[in-house]
Amino acid sequence: MSVFSKLNHIFHPESVAIVGASEEVGSMGAMFLKPFLTQGFKGSVYLVHRNKTEVMGMKCYPSLRDIPGEIDYVIIAISASNTPELMKECVEKKVKVCTFFTAGFSESGTEEGIALENEILEIACANGVRIVGPNSMGIYSPATGLYLSSGLSSRSGSLGIICQSGGNAIYLSRVSEMRGAAVSKAVSYGNACDISESDLLEYFAEDAETKVIIAYIEGVKDGKRFYSALKKAAGVKPVIILKGGKTEIGAKTAASHTGALSGSANAWTAMIRQAGAIQADTLDELIDMAVAFTHIPPLRQRRVSIMGVGGGVSVLAADSLLNANLLLPPLPDEVKEKLQQKINNPGYIYTNPIDTLDLFKGMDEVRNTVEALSEWDEIDILIPHMAYDIMGIDPEIWIDSGLTKSIVNVLVDCIKKTDKPMAIVLHYVALAKTYQAFSEELRICCEAGIAVFLSMDAAGKALDKFIEYYENIG
């Protein structure tokens, strides 16, 4: 039986029990129970609590044994010392998979914790129960209605997330969805006592719903198997890896977080490259890569054209892309002439980057520029950009007038009408006034299936690695 068929059923339970549920703010009730009740899980949901009879208006059973129906999936949030007893109940109820939010196992470094982890693993293995964790947030599978936490989207996409850390899994899931790269399945796998990063790589490699895989990994127990799983997965779809604990103290922190043995940073870099996977340096770079691979067609050359408002912004945009090994070919005479015929704006600068000076001159200017650049054959990708906070007028004026929104709508319309690959940079800003416009316009772009990056630096880094991937696979 392939890993895929061994694991696939755990993503499709028909009934769920939450053990240790409560309803305080920040509690399991709010975190795990709420999405089951509100976000469309089609099966049965049961609560188990030794001392409670009701949580959030739902009946609580004193033990799994007392639940009348079958239980496929159990989320466990009781103290570690009580988990061996619970595992026996899981075996009795023929549970398919348990996810352990509970910590206090091998990552604690104590003999007791290590022994407990071995004990639950032994019971599970001997009886066909699979474990995610312990010390994990579990499984997010929006199509099924499984959630790592509340506040996650119920929209299903094609991004597979393998994440040793629960918090980072939530961050990656939330932010990638917001950036238009919705999740197929995400797994926060914690201490990896049973289901490991290698199992998950093999699973996601075969999972037809998953087109792109991103992973945050602190350490692996079986390096040889991991390399083989990574190579196999990277052979069929893009896999991007962020290694946590690359420094000495980071590694020590990882050990106390998930009990992971980190390995040397250089060895990881070499292994990832050799396996045909891609290395990311930050969580946000993982998301940038997910966005690139979700929305941009394969590129094998590095020629970029930039258009936007602002001289200084254009200078820095050019620096960012060139530093990222991209090319900015000079604007050919025929494109320049085409633009000059259509655009009468004394500040417009006919170079690459094009500085349109001010887009306030009208939407025709935006459309004419994009159309002319779309027909420029020697360019592989066009990047229009919008730098909200360099504009001289008060943000309130352009938010109220809908100016930047009109520009973004024209860009989206143009992108839909052309075959030229495009990405948009919406320079991310921190001001409350401009955030409002940024956020709304990001949503418009993402809903149209356009790759958006939040700075030219981020776009450059992502495109460099994105194109390198296609250069390597030829």
CB atoms within 10 A of CB 44: 17
In DSSP terms, which residues pair with 327 in a beta bridge? 303
The residue from 175, 276, 303, 368 that contacts its own copies (CB under 8 A) is 175
Q: Which range binds its own copies by CB under 8 A, 9-17, 91-99, 192-200, 350-358?
A: 350-358
Instruction: Show Cβ contacts of residue 350 under 8 Å, excluding neighbours closer than 6 positions.
Output: 331, 336, 339, 340
The residue from 328, 381, 437, 446 that contacts its own copies (CB under 8 A) is 328
The C-alpha atoms of residue 321 and residue 468 are separated, in whole angstroms, by: 14
- Residue with Cβ nearer its own copies (127 or 253): 253
- Residue with Cβ nearer its own copies (2 or 247): 247
Q: Which range binds its own copies by CB under 8 A, 228-236, 335-343, 344-352, 462-470?
A: 344-352
In terms of Cα–Cα distance, which of 96, 88, 187 is closest to 137? 187
- Residue with Cβ nearer its own copies (37 or 91): 37
Q: Which range binds its own copies by CB under 8 A, 50-58, 121-129, 229-237, 391-399?
A: 391-399
The residue from 93, 96, 257, 302 that contacts its own copies (CB under 8 A) is 257
The residue from 121, 391, 407, 415 that contacts its own copies (CB under 8 A) is 391
Are β-strands 54-55 and 58-61 bridged in parallel, bridged antiparallel, or unpaired? antiparallel
Q: Which range binds its own copies by CB under 8 A, 63-71, 92-100, 256-264, 363-371?
A: 256-264
CB 132 within 8 Å of CB 163:
no
Q: How far is the CB of 383 from its own copies (least distance, A)?
A: 14
Q: How far is the CB of 262 from its own copies (least distance, A)?
A: 9
Buried b / exposed e across 165-179, counting CB within 10 Å, b at 16+? bbebbbbbbbebbeb
The residue from 15, 294, 352, 369 that contacts its own copies (CB under 8 A) is 352
- Residue with Cβ nearer its own copies (79 or 472): 79
Instruction: Scan residues 76-95 and list those touching its own copies (CB under 8 A).
Output: 79
The C-alpha atoms of residue 186 and residue 200 are separated, in whole angstroms, by: 10
The C-alpha atoms of residue 134 and residue 117 are separated, in whole angstroms, by: 8
The C-alpha atoms of residue 21 and residue 77 are separated, in whole angstroms, by: 7
Q: Is 103 in the site for its own copies (CB under 8 A)?
A: yes
Q: Which range binds its own copies by CB under 8 A, 154-162, 163-171, 231-239, 410-418?
A: 163-171
Instruction: Show Cβ contacts of residue 153 under 8 Å, excluding neighbours closer than 6 positions.
Output: 142, 173, 174, 177, 182, 183
Q: How far is the CB of 448 from its own copies (least distance, A)?
A: 18
Q: Which range binds its own copies by CB under 8 A, 56-64, 220-228, 240-248, 461-469?
A: 240-248
Number of residues engaging its own copies in binding (CB under 8 A) = 89
In terms of Cα–Cα distance, which of 17, 200, 6 is closest to 99? 17
Instruction: Scan residues 17-76 and list those touching its own copies (CB under 8 A).
Output: 25-26, 30-32, 34
Q: How far is the CB of 63 from its own copies (least distance, A)?
A: 22
Q: Is 396 in the site for its own copies (CB under 8 A)?
A: yes
In terms of Cα–Cα distance, which of 272, 263, 207 is closest to 241? 272
- Residue with Cβ nearer its own copies (58 or 403): 403
The C-alpha atoms of residue 342 and residue 375 are separated, in whole angstroms, by: 15
Instruction: Scan residues 135-154 and list those touching its own copies (CB under 8 A).
Output: 137, 148-151
Q: How far is the CB of 23 from its own copies (least distance, A)?
A: 11
The residue from 189, 398, 453, 466 that contacts its own copies (CB under 8 A) is 398
The residue from 395, 412, 451, 459 that contacts its own copies (CB under 8 A) is 395
Instruction: Scan residues 189-228 and list those touching its own copies (CB under 8 A).
Output: 216, 218
The amino acid at residue 165 is S
In DSSP terms, which residues pair with 306 in a beta bridge? 383
The residue from 397, 416, 447, 473 that contacts its own copies (CB under 8 A) is 397
Strand order, beta sheet including 54-55: 54-55, 58-61, 44-48, 15-19, 73-76, 97-100, 130-132
- Residue with Cβ nearer its own copies (38 or 53): 38
Measure CA of the first residue to CA of the last residue in the chain; give whole Å.
Answer: 33
8-state DSSP, 135: S
